[in-house]
Amino acid sequence: MTPTLPPARYIDPASAPPFRWGVIGTGIAGRFVDSLHSHTTQRAVAVAARDLDRTEAFAREHSVERVFGTTTALIESSEIDVVYIATPHPQHRDLALEAIAAGKHVLIEKPIAMSAHEASDITAAGRAAGVLVMEAMWTRYLPQSDIVRQVVASGLLGDLRLVRADFGFVMPFLPDHRLWSAELGGGALLDAGIYPISFVSSVLGSPSMVIARGSTAPTGVDASADVMLASADGATGIASTSIITSMPVTAEILGSAGRLLVHGPFIGPSGLTLTTGSFFDESSTTWIEPSLAMYDGMSCQATALAKYVAEGRVESPVHPHAEIVSIMATIDEARHQIAALPVNG
């Protein structure tokens, strides 16, 4: 019998109150602001970044009304409801704590910080201040991710055995580039590896054991990593990442009664294939994202944030604080294990 996939439960952008967003940083923020303006009722009304000329150009290109000369001025402005932090990772903690102290809700680009300790500082501060803190793990808020959660919760896959995911690409070695710079929070795990590790966590929860193998670059950052994550109930997760190897960027959940494939690139809007039945009598069904192009999917997290604020939440129900900290602890341990290996070994 052909299996069926449940429908995605969308959050209607019109159902969420419109907020005024202040943007800090001008890198990936451009894609986020464009998706915000095209697919939600939210509006980026101000931007601040280190280079004023570049910031002004960003504002013109992405229809942002106001440029602040400093990040503090933006954070303290009464014109801002939510601060979106899209700077290099090492700056996340201090900026987030400053915004939280000013009573602002915050969406912080992944990784939320440089370590589990810093992530705990941020989430605890948000809870104490009564403001919403979210990591911009946009994959969690895609329609396909809602379908994945429903399939896993339904038991349709049987006993879960293996969850695997990967995200890797080839980045030329440029020592001063942020991906290769230890000072700028470089390395495969923090930039790309957080996606497959987060996917495994979303299905299996916090691991009972972490085993990591990989390679390091001459600058000391991890260039690749394969991370095995054991769960308390006996299932295994495998997360692979690299900035020296091209990968298919897919994810899969395998159980005793079936398997669910998230098409590549699984980090953005893509599709799903559910397969059930015995080896000699399998049946499959496929769902393809009907409307969202790749980076359009970044808008889903903004709509979710606005809805959660309206509900009085201080953390995301699909990506709670404890899990954010746990994922960072997994990355901390993987980075520690790989750093102990010989360079390029």
Residue with tokens 């795990």: 189
- pLDDT > 80? residue 87: yes
Rounded to 5°, angle at Cα 114 from 66 and 46: 5
| For the chain, percent of residues with pLDDT exceeding 90 | 94
The answer for 320, left when phi > 0, alpha when psi is -120 to 50, beta otherwise, is beta
Average pLDDT over residues 259-279: 95
- pLDDT > 60? residue 257: yes
- The edge-to-edge listing of strands for the beta sheet with 251-255 is 209-216, 222-230, 236-242, 160-168, 251-255, 258-262, 271-278, 281-288
Element (H, E) at 201: helix 194-204
Instruction: Give dist(CA 343, CA 148) in Å, integer.
Output: 38
Please provide the DSSP assignment of 126-150 as one string: HHHHT--EEEE-GGGGSHHHHHHHH
- pLDDT > 50? residue 205: yes
DSSP designation for 175: T
Model confidence at 255, pLDDT cuts 50, 70, 90, reads very high
Average pLDDT over residues 326-333: 97
Mean pLDDT across the chain: 96
pLDDT at 188 (0 to 100):
97
pLDDT at 245 (0 to 100):
97
pLDDT at 344 (0 to 100):
41
**Predicted TM-score of the model (pTM):** 0.96
Cβ atoms of 338 and 213 closer than 8 Å: yes
- pLDDT > 50? residue 330: yes
Cβ atoms of 87 and 114 closer than 8 Å: no
pLDDT at 1 (0 to 100):
74
Model confidence at 345, pLDDT cuts 50, 70, 90, reads very low
pLDDT at 341 (0 to 100):
56
Average pLDDT over residues 314-330: 98
pLDDT at 278 (0 to 100):
79
How many helical (H) and strand (E) elements, i.e. helices and strands, does the chain have?
Answer: 10, 14
φ, ψ for residue 306, nearest 5 deg: -60, -40
Cβ atoms of 307 and 11 closer than 8 Å: yes
Instruction: Give dist(CA 4, CA 162) in Å, integer.
Output: 21
Model confidence at 342, pLDDT cuts 50, 70, 90, reads low
Model confidence at 343, pLDDT cuts 50, 70, 90, reads very low
- Looking at per-residue pLDDT, the higher value among 2 and 1 belongs to 2
Cβ atoms of 227 and 238 closer than 8 Å: yes
User: Exposure of 245 by Cβ count < 10 A (0-12 exposed, 13-18 middle, 19+ buried)?
Assistant: middle
φ, ψ for residue 246, nearest 5 deg: -80, 130
pLDDT 10s digits, 95-139:
999 999 999 999 999 999 999 999 999 999 999 999 999 999 999
Average pLDDT over residues 277-284: 87
CA 306 from centroid of its chain's CA atoms: 17
φ, ψ for residue 218, nearest 5 deg: -60, -25
pLDDT 10s digits, 39-78:
999 999 999 999 999 999 999 999 999 999 999 999 999 9
Neighbours of 332 (CB within 10 A): 17
Domains of the chain (ranges; CATH) run 13-138 (3.40.50.720), 140-298+313-339 (3.30.360.10)
- pLDDT > 80? residue 340: no
Please choose, from the candidates 290, 255, 256, 257, the residue with its C-alpha nearest in 3D space to the C-alpha of residue 272: 290
What's the length of the chain?
345
φ, ψ for residue 86, nearest 5 deg: -130, 40
Please provide the DSSP assignment of 14-63 as one string: GGSPP-EEEEE-SSTHHHHHHHHHHHSS-EEEEEE-S-HHHHHHHHHHTT
Q: Pick the range with the lowest mean pLDDT from 75-89, 271-285, 316-330.
A: 271-285
Q: Pick the range with the lowest mean pLDDT from 113-122, 279-288, 333-342.
A: 333-342
Q: Helix (H, G, I), strand (E, B), or coil: what is residue 282? A: strand
